[in-house]
Structures are given as structure tokens and as C-alpha cells.
Amino acid sequence: MKGTFPTHKFRELRTPFYYYDTELLRETLAAVTGEIARYENYKVHYAIKSNANPKLLSIIRESGLGADCVSGGEIRAAVKAGFPAGKIVFAGVGKADWEINLALDYDIFCFNVESLPELDVINELAKAKDKTARVAFRINPDVGAHTHANITTGLAENKFGISMQDMDRVVDAALEMSHIQFVGLHFHIGSQILDMGDFVALCNRINELQDRLEARHIRIDHINVGGGLGIDYRHPNRQPVPDFKSYFATYAKNLRLRPHQTLHFEPGRAITGQCGSLISRVLYVKQGTNKQFAILDAGFTDLIRPALYQAYHKIENITSEEATETYDVVGPICESSDVFGKAIDLNKVHRGDFVALRSAGAYGEIMASGYNCRELPQGYTSDELV
């Protein structure tokens, strides 16, 4: 089954561009807010890095979610979209001084701190402003996620977070600092995780760490388990809204949350992934040796995931119903990695056909680059194109 698109509207637009189905986005957000309403103390912060298109951000903000930022630019984008500062969290392994100052000026809810040197700097900068920074420590739980090696973040070998062995030391340091308020622990084990067992492993690890803190009479009010819930790239129409019910239930069942604690989540991909498609025109159909190429006007400058992570995106010819043929679907960029898919069955392709690369709402438009002096793709919503 193909997705449905307003192709008559597409004819007026310069390709490639991103098309966002806002009805699906709203449905996805309703699923999230509906599920967390079943639990008293769950809070969700949308991971802005997956897609910072202002039109999407304002819909996400309207749903009541907070924002998870990983840079000063993202904090600005969140504030601009109307996310209250009290619902903004800020992670990142290399926060620059100006970014920390910006976050202090806005008085964001919490810094997710990734090292002792960073904690020192936050304390100093907060002191200079006579403010107190709320901090959670991002602990690297040494839990593997069954996902692509480039998107695991919770293994000891990854650059992220503070090791479990160092947790007590940094907590002690924080408790000594005049302009730091230690409020909790933060985790994020990776992305595109579909095996709930990975989240169970994280819960078990958090339970151990909590017991360790409690044995030392250290109380924390916030646990943040990051994001990572995956989507079905192979079948974007089968389950367009991810299974948030099982996701939250996994935490409810396995994490021993104390009654006074709030549990925070930071999904990105699971919220924006399925609502977006990259729409491209076919420039040429070229006969190669033993194969044929569909050459698109979109390249990895518009959607880098296949080149960067060998990621799969379902590809559809949305303007042809003719019998299928097999193509290597490629872009125009002068790099051999500029390939969206090999041996893909598509309804017979002609110059000028529209091709949709599905499930491209997360880590698509936001990762676009100007390599080859190409223009950045625009993003349009279904609201705009009715």
C-alpha cells in the first residue's frame, strides 16, 4: 500500500521538499499524551534535534510536551516556538559557555550534565549570574541497544555521559557546589530501538543505581530515561503511530520509581518520523549494465540517513500505477554513497514522476546540508497544501 499525497499540489512546488502529514503528527501526539495521562508523574520532552521545523514545533508545543535540546540553537528554537523554559532540558557532551549562559538566562528546567569539568563550568557561570542551575547527571549505563552501531550511545565505549563508577564522585561534587542543585539522573541508550528488552535492561540498571544512591541517603526527584523508541521503516502504513502503550508500560512495569519521583522521556524519532516524506522528482531513467537507475533531484544533502547509517527508507513512485520494474534509486550528488536504495521495485518510472521517500520526518530535513552548493529543501505541511 502506498501513502496518499496531494500530488496535484506538488506540481506547483520546487522539488525536493519535505511533506509533513500534520494529521498523523497530531494523532501521534494524542497517543503520547493519552498514554502518559494514565500515569501520574510522567513527562515527555520532545527531542528537537529530530526535526526543528517551526510549523511542527508549534503543533508539538500545543500538545503540551516539553522540549529536549542539545544545543543553544535548539534552545532558541524551542523558546521561539513557545515551549515554556520550565519544560526545557538541555543535554550534550560539549556545551559551550555561551550555550550554558543562554540556558541560565532562560532559567531552563534542567541541564543534563555529561562530565565533571562541565559541572564545574556550569557552577562558575551560574555563580557569575547569581543563579542556581538545576542539574541531572547523564549516566552511561553500559547497556547496549540492538540498533545500528552509529546510533548506540549507552555503551562504555561511547563518548556520552558519566560512567557508573564515577557517579558517586560527581554527585558528591555537585552537593558541594554553591550554585548547583542536583535533581536527578539522566540516561539515553540510543535510537531506533524496537526491542523493549533494551529498555528493560536500562530500567534494571537504573534500579541498581537508585538503590546505590538511596543507601547513601541521597534523594533525587527526577529520572530521565531519554528517547530512542523506533519506528517501522519497512511498513510506514502498517503502524504509523508507534506503540507508545507498550513503551510506557515497559517503564511502568520495570522501573522502581519512588512515589515522589517524576519520570521524564525524550522521544524524537517516534514523534516526527512517520509524518514526513521527502518528495522528489525523477530527473532521468538511465540504463546501466544489468540494471537501471532512477536518478532523483533529491540527494543525500536532503536526506543523509541512507548514506550515513545505511538506513532504509521505503521508496514509492506516487505518480505511476504501471507495472513495477527494478531500479537503483540514486541522487545527483558527486559521491558514490548518494544512493537511496538498490534493486527497488517501483511502478514504472518516467522523467518527472514524483517519488516519495517515506518515514523521513525525523533526522531528515534537519540534517540537510548545502554540499555541492545545493539549496536546502523546504518543508510543507498538509495543512498548507489543502
Residues making contact with ligand PLP (CB under 6 A): 47, 49-50, 68, 70, 91, 188, 191, 226-229, 266-270, 362
* In the complex, minimum distance from the CB of residue 68 to ligand PLP, in angstroms, rounded to a whole number: 5
Identity of the residue, 15 or 191, whose beta carbon is nearer to ligand PLP in the bound complex: 191
Going through the chain in order, the beta strands assigned E by DSSP cover 17-20, 42-47, 66-69, 88-90, 110-113, 133-140, 162-163, 180-186, 222-224, 262-265, 276-287, 292-296, 315-317, 324-330, 339-347, 354-357, 378-381
* In the complex, minimum distance from the CB of residue 191 to ligand PLP, in angstroms, rounded to a whole number: 3
193 to each of 81, 138, 189, 230, 280, how far by Cα in Å? 28, 19, 9, 5, 28
Identity of the residue, 269 or 313, whose beta carbon is nearer to ligand PLP in the bound complex: 269
367 to each of 110, 276, 360, 362, 363, how far by Cα in Å? 26, 14, 11, 9, 6
* In the complex, minimum distance from the CB of residue 114 to ligand PLP, in angstroms, rounded to a whole number: 9
Which amino acid, residue 159?
K
Alpha helix ranges (H) inside the chain: 7-10, 22-36, 54-62, 72-80, 97-106, 116-128, 164-176, 196-215, 244-254, 269-272, 305-309
Identity of the residue, 311 or 346, whose beta carbon is nearer to ligand PLP in the bound complex: 311
* In the complex, minimum distance from the CB of residue 131 to ligand PLP, in angstroms, rounded to a whole number: 23
Nine-digit cell at 161?
555521559
Please state the φ and ψ torsions of residue 323, each to the nearest 5 degrees. -55, 150
Look at strands 324-330 and 339-347 and give their pairing.
antiparallel
Identity of the residue, 136 or 344, whose beta carbon is nearer to ligand PLP in the bound complex: 136
Distance of CA 169 to the CA centre of its chain: 31
* In the complex, minimum distance from the CB of residue 281 to ligand PLP, in angstroms, rounded to a whole number: 29
Q: Which residues contact 23 (CB under 8 A, 6 or more apart)?
A: 382
Identity of the residue, 241 or 318, whose beta carbon is nearer to ligand PLP in the bound complex: 241
* In the complex, minimum distance from the CB of residue 138 to ligand PLP, in angstroms, rounded to a whole number: 7
* In the complex, minimum distance from the CB of residue 227 to ligand PLP, in angstroms, rounded to a whole number: 3
d(CA 192, CA 56): 20
Q: Which residues pair with 112 in a beta bridge?
A: 136
Identity of the residue, 112 or 277, whose beta carbon is nearer to ligand PLP in the bound complex: 112
* In the complex, minimum distance from the CB of residue 162 to ligand PLP, in angstroms, rounded to a whole number: 13
d(CA 135, CA 174): 9
Identity of the residue, 95 or 188, whose beta carbon is nearer to ligand PLP in the bound complex: 188
Identity of the residue, 188 or 205, whose beta carbon is nearer to ligand PLP in the bound complex: 188
Nine-digit cell at 275?
509524518
* In the complex, minimum distance from the CB of residue 335 to ligand PLP, in angstroms, rounded to a whole number: 25
Burial (CB count within 10 angstroms: exposed 0-12, middle 13-18, buried 19+), residue 54? exposed
Identity of the residue, 162 or 330, whose beta carbon is nearer to ligand PLP in the bound complex: 162
